[in-house]
Structure 1
Amino acid sequence: MNISDSKIIDFVSLKEGGIMNKNIKLIGICALLLALPNVMAVIFVPSNANINNELSESENYQENHKEVKNIILMVPDGMGLADVTAARIYKNGPDEAPLYLETLENIGYQRTYSANSIITDSAAAGSAWACGEKFNNGEICYHVDGRPYNPSILEMAKAEGKATGLVATSTITHATPAVFGAHVKSRNCENEIARQYIEITGVDLMLGGGVVKFNSTKPDTCGTSGNFIAEAEQKGYQSVYTRAGMDSAVANGTVKLLGLFNNSSMTPEYLRISGTTEPRLPEMTSAALNILEKDRDGFFLMVEGSQIDWANHANDLKYQMGETLAFDESVKVVLDWTNASPKRKEHTLLIIVPDHETGGFAVNGPDRLLRAGESVTAGWTSDEHTGVDTIIWSQGPGSKALGRAVENTDLYGVMIKALEQ
């Protein structure tokens, strides 16, 4: 979507006709926008005719249109459909049970190109979801040319009174989580991203790697450095650095949590050793749900399996399989949580979508049936991102609009529509 394809809505019309009728205070939105660099008091709403028709008029959407309390976005970064095939065969065999992510109610696919390339990076792809526009590669919900940009879906959820959380196996300031809680010119501004999380956006829960991004004396690309851990603690966050610390925070009823479990990114699944103090992605996902669900207004949560992408960059099947299966375990955690209560399932929008595919991964053999526990023969066409479309799995109110071919920016429209309910 280009800016010329967008509809600009001022806050008066927004308040009268849409999301302002659902608990968002105008003063809160204005304060949020004024705190962010270069944000103007306008919102660009994707006006793709197809998706707007789906959201407002389609019978399918109306059939699945109920109040949304919780939005959960899960991102298997860099994963293609062949990754799913390989992991399923290894886990269950070729003709047995599907992976958990394959059991969701709707399946569609998205175009992934960015504003300046048919091959996106995670910054531009994530920004398309988070802020509803196409961005250049490297931009974190921020137009370097000075054009205004939308507040992110996380910021909009927070303005509506919902709890917010980010979980990742990379640094928590890496490109994908960053797009939901920051606006910066470059994905390399990780110290600045950490600062914005704490000082501006106020993300309630952050779990991942990246101690050095929150406590650095060396300025990043944006010129930012500082001890944002101490600042977070002054603002009421509890900081933890081990799985035991995280579990204790959950047990003690903590509502604002900064969990940093590695100086850099978290340890890959295939390199983990017995006795490690780092939590796994499924454990972080469970902790996030237990904390965020305490907010009676609901929550927005983004969970990223960051290192599926890195495994495909490395053309490493063992690495890839470990990360894919750990991500799928995290999907099970979410499904178990939603299925434990009819109200949760009825009022939770769950979307699972890779930002792009990496490596051109393919299952090439062997020329016989495999049993569970056996690995496929596989190959990659590159060690970089590709431009192929990626699968969207979804369920919950409004999700039928994603059960077809869409633009990645259309996910923003679906989530914004969910906030209006």
Structure 2
Amino acid sequence: MKNVFVKRKNILITSILILCLILSTFAFAQQDTNDNENRVKNVILMIPDGMTIAHTTLARWYQDGEPLAMDELACGLIRTYSANNPITDSAPAATAYATGFKTQNRYLSIYPEMVSMPGVGQVDEKDFYKPIITVLEAAKKLGKSTGLVFTCQFPHATPAAFASHTDNRNDYESIAEQMVYNNIDVVLGGGYKYIDKNQRKDKEDLVGYLRQNGYFVTTNWHDAKNYSGQKIWGLFAQDAMHYDFDRKDAGEPSLAEMTQKALYILSKNRNGFFLMIEGSEIDWASHANDPVGVVSEVLAFDKAVKVALDFAKSREDTAVLIVPDHNNGGMTLGTRGVSIDSIMLNSLLKYIRKATRTGLGVEELLGNNRTDENIKKIVSKYYGIDDLTQDEINAIKSAPQGKLNTVLGQMISKRSYIGWTSDEHTGEEVVLYAYHPKNYIPRGVIDNTQVCDYMCEILGIDLYSFNENAYLSNIELEEKGYQVSIDNSNPSNIQLLINKGDKTYIIPQNKNIVIEGSNQYKLKFVSVYIPSAKKFFVSSDILDIIK
């Protein structure tokens, strides 16, 4: 790992003292540093988005104190701050895991132009916004299979950070196109509408592109479950999938089932694989301060952990890492004004155990029928609450669409003595969990970027070499003497034009292709346009095509 840090120093870290302090926090269960001896073929990275210690404590008590599958792997803590903020959002947090570099809030796998946190070195101005190659992209180039499994929509921040590059995490259409052209072998989760030409604003037929390139594309779990090939996009909801407590009526697979399928497909590659699995909606339940949603999603994630861990323990070539990206909600068991002596386990769990739907699930059941009587009936049946006040009934009646989990979350939290300090992310360390077949694991307090360094070390990936000359900007091409212009006449399809002699090379954004007349060439990496900076980045092997 030292080589990785020495190389990074030349790009980001300006203080040798800071570098030494960072390295000093990273210790291993074994002192042997023989790279080959500790290498594995496969890495399974699991991200329970927004999961805190309070979340796992509540989930453990929900199942009568029985340990979670992830408990045996706890080995340290992770610092989560972004390049410009002590409290990260999911985009830079996932970027740190995906690339080994910190970026600023809202950015996905590009270098920041704003750095204000201690220990994060400034980036050279010419590299502002430049895409950073991810561990998934590098693994793919080395012949490994790659996969993403999640319950959110696939262009959402965490999966997006591993296979796209942008300064706007909310630009789902561009992100989706980049992810499609990044040739990921297995994609399972939600978000079909982002590849459907009839629902995309630019009418791009990404489903057609995938099928033309050998992918099985489906929205049906039964068909996906029975698929025996090696390339699949299974998107089982138009947008995000349901919470686990609510999914059965929707016919959606669980995170554990999708994990099992992904491992079955990816393990066919003798060169190994990289798989990222996200428990996406732990975070959303926390934003809503909804303890029922928290239990639903933590337990669903833990079942996926068991699948991954059983797979890894059945062989000698697979490591598993579980790394929350940040805390969320400031959840506590116990709240202000309530004596600890008055909080018994049954009072803490009574209503949470009675709940068979999350707040969003109850919202679906209520529909437009929000009469007093129907509210009382539904809340009693699915939450076990028979003493709703008129104020609470009125709050349920007036809850905006998609926000009933926030309203019901408050009611359950109050009755369960659960406190919340925020409906946003918070900045404390998160728990690190790790499994390695030879027990070569990180320990202590580490930085989120070091998780990527560790994965690259055990996979034998030199991510620095991929990043050193991966991309050129339009400005750098001009400096090399090329006649370059950006065509933004069609805002949904920005293009870089390179003129050389009587030839014009057209490079569309978000794709990995170059068009010259009737000829089409493939690039190593997808092309990226950053509107706010008017910068267009293209894979550096463009020089081999236009020479």
Alignment TM class, shorter chain as reference: 0.7 to 0.9
Distance in 1, Cα, partners of 2:241 & 2:226: 20
Distance in 2, Cα, partners of 1:63 & 1:420: 11
Instruction: Give the C-alpha shift of residue 50 in structure 1.
Output: 5.6
Pairing 1:241–2:219 present: yes
Q: Deviations over 1:380-407 (max 9, x none)?
A: 1110000111111001068655211011
Question: Which of 243, 247, 251 is residue 272 of structure 1 equivalent to?
Answer: 247
**What secondary structure is seen at the aligned counterpart in 2 of 1:255?**
coil
2:67 is matched with which residue? 98
Query: Are the counterparts in 1 of residues 76 and 433 from structure 2 also a CA contact under 8 Å?
Result: yes
Query: Are the counterparts in 2 of residues 192 and 225 from structure 1 also a CA contact under 8 Å?
Result: no
Q: Deviations over 1:148-183 (max 9, x none)?
A: 453100011111111000001000111000111111
2:526 is matched with which residue? none
More displaced, 374-383 or 279-288? Answer: 374-383
What's the TM-score once normalised by structure 2's chain length? 0.63
Q: Deviations over 1:329-386 (max 9, x none)?
A: 10111122222x2xx2x32111001100100011116623449975563121110000
Identity of aligned residues (%): 38
Distance in 2, Cα, partners of 1:321 & 1:8: 39
- Name stretches of at least 5 consecutive residues in structure 2 with no aligned partner: 114-126, 335-339, 353-415, 462-547
More displaced, 305-314 or 276-285? Answer: 276-285
Which amino acid is 2:267 matched to? E
Query: Are the counterparts in 2 of residues 89 and 372 from structure 1 also a CA contact under 8 Å?
Result: no
Question: Which of 46, 50, 56 is residue 84 of structure 1 equivalent to?
Answer: 56
**What secondary structure is seen at the aligned counterpart in 2 of 1:197?**
helix
2:284 is matched with which residue? 310
Question: Which of 254, 266, 272 is residue 298 of structure 1 equivalent to?
Answer: 272
1:214 is matched with which residue? 195
Superposition pairs for residues 117-196 of structure 1, below 5 Å? 117-143=85-111, 145=113, 146-147=127-128, 148-196=130-178
CA shift in 2, pair 1:43/1:164, >3 Å:
farther
Q: Deviations over 1:248-270 (max 9, x none)?
A: 11xxx210000011111001122
Instruction: Give the C-alpha shift of residue 60 in structure 1.
Output: 3.4
Instruction: Give the C-alpha shift of residue 242 in structure 1.
Output: 1.7
Query: Are the counterparts in 1 of residues 103 and 112 from structure 2 also a CA contact under 8 Å?
Result: no
Query: Are the counterparts in 2 of residues 6 and 45 from structure 1 also a CA contact under 8 Å?
Result: no
CA shift in 2, pair 1:290/1:43, >3 Å:
farther
Distance in 1, Cα, partners of 2:23 & 2:328: 30
Pairing 1:49–2:27 present: no
Query: Are the counterparts in 1 of residues 76 and 431 from structure 2 also a CA contact under 8 Å?
Result: yes
1:355 is matched with which residue? 325
Which amino acid is 2:107 matched to? E
Query: Are the counterparts in 2 of residues 132 and 150 from structure 1 also a CA contact under 8 Å?
Result: no
Distance in 1, Cα, partners of 2:289 & 2:446: 29
Query: Are the counterparts in 2 of residues 168 and 305 from structure 1 also a CA contact under 8 Å?
Result: yes
CA shift in 2, pair 1:215/1:118, >3 Å:
same
2:455 is matched with which residue? 415
1:255 is matched with which residue? 230
**What secondary structure is seen at the aligned counterpart in 1 of 2:83?**
coil
- Name stretches of at least 5 consecutive residues in structure 1 with no aligned partner: 10-41
Instruction: Give the C-alpha shift of residue 271 in structure 1.
Output: 2.2
CA shift in 2, pair 1:57/1:129, >3 Å:
closer
Instruction: Give the C-alpha shift of residue 216 in structure 1.
Output: 4.7
1:381 is matched with which residue? 421
Instruction: Give the C-alpha shift of residue 230 in structure 1.
Output: 1.1
1:396 is matched with which residue? 436
Which amino acid is 1:122 matched to? S
Pairing 1:324–2:295 present: no
Distance in 1, Cα, partners of 2:69 & 2:445: 22
Question: Which of 397, 403, 406 is residue 446 of structure 2 equivalent to?
Answer: 406
Query: Are the counterparts in 1 of residues 100 and 449 from structure 2 also a CA contact under 8 Å?
Result: yes
Distance in 2, Cα, partners of 1:383 & 1:56: 34
Which amino acid is 1:77 matched to? D
Distance in 1, Cα, partners of 2:83 & 2:209: 36
Query: Are the counterparts in 2 of residues 398 and 418 from structure 1 also a CA contact under 8 Å?
Result: no
Instruction: Give the C-alpha shift of residue 6 in structure 1.
Output: 6.4
CA shift in 2, pair 1:265/1:207, >3 Å:
same
Distance in 2, Cα, partners of 1:66 & 1:6: 21
Q: Deviations over 1:222-261 (max 9, x none)?
A: xx65121111111110011121011111xxx210000011
Distance in 2, Cα, partners of 1:136 & 1:398: 35
Higher normalized contact order (CA 8 Å, seq sep 6+, divided by chain length): 1
CA shift in 2, pair 1:190/1:399, >3 Å:
farther
Distance in 2, Cα, partners of 1:321 & 1:299: 30
Q: Deviations over 1:114-133 (max 9, x none)?
A: 11111100001000111111
CA shift in 2, pair 1:239/1:272, >3 Å:
same
1:24 is matched with which residue? none
CA shift in 2, pair 1:153/1:368, >3 Å:
same
CA shift in 2, pair 1:118/1:310, >3 Å:
same
Which amino acid is 1:405 matched to? V
Question: Which of 57, 60, 74 is residue 31 of structure 2 equivalent to?
Answer: 60
What's the TM-score once normalised by structure 1's chain length? 0.80
CA shift in 2, pair 1:44/1:258, >3 Å:
farther
**What secondary structure is seen at the aligned counterpart in 1 of 2:421?**
coil
CA shift in 2, pair 1:173/1:83, >3 Å:
same
**What secondary structure is seen at the aligned counterpart in 1 of 2:433?**
strand
Which amino acid is 2:87 matched to? I
Pairing 1:7–2:47 present: no
**What secondary structure is seen at the aligned counterpart in 2 of 1:170?**
strand
**What secondary structure is seen at the aligned counterpart in 2 of 1:226?**
coil
